[in-house]
Amino acid sequence: MSTPGQIRTDVGPDFGAVGGAGDLRAIVGALLTYGLIIAVLMLVISATTWAIASNSGSWHTAQKAKVGCFVAIGGAALTGAALAWANWLLDIGAHL
């Protein structure tokens, strides 16, 4: 128990109090895995389309496929960094 004027620094979320927290973490992990798989498939399809369109002289399609490659790389980076970002925010919250 803290006295008036004393600052408590051990305040933080209690993830053990939530029923099914382990199931929630498994669901989030599965969603991140699916996100990475979709981003990699999108990158493969876009890169293949870019190569074929550039070779055949279809510059408009090649430009669209190039944009698809950049979107796929950005999506993979954001999906891969989501868990690390959430853990960083939780660590910052515990220190405030």
Euclidean distance between CA atoms 45 and 72, whole angstroms: 10
- Please give the sequence-ordered ranges of beta strands (E in DSSP) within the chain, or none if there are none: none
Euclidean distance between CA atoms 81 and 95, whole angstroms: 21
Give the whole-number percent of the chain exceeding pLDDT 70: 66
User: How does the average pLDDT of the chain come out, rounded?
Assistant: 80
pLDDT higher than threshold 70 for residue 48: yes
Between 60 and 20, the higher pLDDT residue = 60
Between 27 and 54, the higher pLDDT residue = 54
Instruction: Indicate the domain borders of the chain.
Output: 33-95
45 and 75 Cβ atoms separated by less than 8 Å: no
- CA atoms within a 13 Å half-sphere pointing along the CA-CB vector of 13: 9
pLDDT tens digit sequence for 58-90: 999 999 999 999 999 999 998 888 877 766 766
